[in-house]
Every structure is written in C-alpha cells, then in structure tokens.
Amino acid sequence: MRRTSAMRTGLSALLLLGTWAAASALPASAAEPPARPAAAPASPELLSAMQRDLGLSKSRAEARLAAEKTATAVEREAKRAAGSSYGGSWFDAASGKLTVAVTPGADTEAVRATGATIRLVKHSAARLDAAKARIDALSAPAGVSSWYVDPKANEVVVSVVAARQDDNDVQGFLARARETGPVTVKQTAEAPQTFAAGTVGGDPYYTGNVRCSIGFSVQGGFVTAGHCGGAGAAVYGWDRSYIGNFQGSSFPDNDYAWVNVGSGWWTVPVVLGWGTIPDQLVRGSAEAPVGSSICRSGSTTHWRCGAVLAKNETVNYSQGAVHQMTKTSVCAEGGDSGGSFISGDQAQGVTSGGWGNCSSGGETWYQPVNEILNRYGLRLHTA
C-alpha cells in the first residue's frame, strides 16, 4: 500500500487499514473445507492481552489456547460421527473440553471416541435451526434485539431490550416466536447498533464521511462490513489516497462487502496488533467452537479479546435484521466496523455491531468470514 516513512513503518505499513484476521490454512476459497488450525500463537503480548481481557493467568491462557486448538478439530469429527442426532456443541473453558449434544439414538460411542464429552438433549440442531428459520421470517419490532440457537440450553433464545419487553409489539412477536418451537426469552441492556463512525484520525479506511476497519486480505482486495459502503463507492486509505471501490456489498440481511485494491496498494495476510501484540499472520479459517477465546482488531479500540457466545444469531438493527451472525463478549466502538475477529491464527469474521463500549463492556457480533468468501467467490490471502 502507499505509505510515508513518517506515518508507517515495518509490517504495519503494509496493512490496508489496520485490521486483518486469519483465513484458511490453504490459500483457497471458503468453499473448500478449512484445514486444521496451525499451532496457536502464544507470544507474551497475546498472553498478556488474554490475561487483561479474560482474567486469566499466563499458564491458564497457554492451556486454554492449546485446548481450544484441540476442540476445534474435535468438533468437526464429532459432528460427523453424530450425524442427524447432532444437537450442537460448545467449548467449556473450565474443563478445557468440547461438549457435544446428541439426541436419543445417537451412536454415543462413536462420538465419544472423537474426544468429546456427550450431553443427551431432546432437540437436534436441525430441529432448532428450523425453528430459528421460521422466526427469521417474522418481522421483528425495535424492542427485539436478536435471536439464536443456544446448544447448551437446547432452545432458541430470543433477546429483548429490558425496557421494551412489555411493549405490545414485542409481546406479539414473542407469542409468534414460541409457536415455532422451543423458545426462551432473555433480556439485554441495550439495542444493537453498527460500529461505523464519522471521519476521525487514526488508521482507517474512509468512504464518504464514514470510517471503518479492514477485515481480511483476499486475492485482489479485502473483505469488510457491508454497512460501511454500497457497491461502487470509492474507498480511501488511512493516508487519504485512493484504494479502490466496493465491488459487492450487502446490508441488511447480511453485513459483508469486499473492496478491490489497486493504485499502489497491496494486500498482506496480517492482523494488526496495534502494539498490544505483534502483528499476527493469517494461517487459516477453521471455525472456533462456542466458548472459545477470540480477539478483535479495529481502528478505534485496537486489540480486544473475549469469548464466542453464540452462532447463527439474527441481529435486529434499526436498519433491518442481519442473519447468521456470531456473538462475542468482545467490546467494540464506532469505527471498529469491518475489522477482523481472529481465534489463535484462524480467521473468524468481520465486525458488524453490538452494544456497549470498551469502558463499560458489552457484546459484539461478527459476520463469519467463510460465508463472505463463498458469497463472492474470493480466495483468502494466507501466510
């Protein structure tokens, strides 16, 4: 990319915007199955960030990274062994084990042989996914925050803003949602919002008067959040030089986009560590289980860590619902939109939105990266 020695040095100078996350272990499209994750990085800086944001000691952070690497591989094998009896799975940080839910009739010995712990449940993942899909077809009022399948509870969870729970339109939505299958209701403090921001200084990309963050390097460009710009919109880098244009963009319904790169800019398979940790190489896109630790890089709040809370969640922004999102306990703020979520050295997704901030805490959702690559036929740039 373009740079001046006064403003960028070293590897960080190669970044298009300042946030990159990991991608698939092979430089191939997301249509190909992700490779097993490479050894999880355990630099002193990464361990320090996990200690800060997850409240872990150094030894516990090291042990967790190793256990999560194993759980990612086990999850894929256990799901195959469970077949139609598969009810979902989650990583338990306390035990360091992956738990796999199965319905009666499952070949429990085959599932257990993968190394997973088994829990017997009533509903299969397919049954719960079907119930969620029927809720997706409903029109949600502003007081409904999101909904997702919770494998641990073996139910579909509908989150509502606490102050709006008694609204007639919210109660009507919940009544229709309960007709779709096993549904439970939880409260959230605030409604979700996207994390784009007006023009400010930093290490951003700009489109119009909006600042967002780059997600992942792909062959010929980068992926980011769809709400940051519409197809055809011009994109400018941190130094205000022209990068390229949005070649595809979807928001709402989805929240993803990709931008072509040219005019002296280039791509690198790197996530910016912002001095908190060394810049991270992208080596794969193996999907981390629920419960895994995960970190985010963005142009406003830089490097932040947390855990994966839920997958395939529908988020009800004021602009409309966005589907197939992953929820995390990582905080974010305006300008972080589009930035990278990474687990170990494996890409997970691009920042979409959330609630709260990095002073008081909150939750943030991302759009999974493999879905974006499949949608646009892109090839991930990996180290």
Catalytic residue positions, numbered? 227, 255, 337
Helices (H), 147-252: 168-178
C-alpha to C-alpha distance for 273 and 298, rounded to whole angstroms: 9
Cα separations (Å) of 74 from 154, 177, 267, 286, 308? Answer: 20, 33, 32, 12, 17
Residue 137, judged by CB atoms within 10 A of its CB (0-12, 13-18, 19+), counts as exposed
Cα Rg, the chain, nearest whole Å: 20
Altogether, the residues listed in the chain come to a count of: 383
98: which residues sit within 8 A by CB, 6+ positions away?
A: 70, 71, 74, 75, 78, 89, 90, 91, 92, 115, 116, 117, 289
**Token pair listed for 252:** 């709402």
CA-based nearest residue to 305, from 334, 289, 328, 324: 328
C-alpha to C-alpha distance for 174 and 312, rounded to whole angstroms: 19
C-alpha to C-alpha distance for 275 and 93, rounded to whole angstroms: 27
Determine contact, residues 302/330, Cβ cutoff 8 Å: no
Say if strands 293-298 and 302-317 run parallel, antiparallel, or are unpaired.
antiparallel
Tokens 């009507």 identify what position?
172
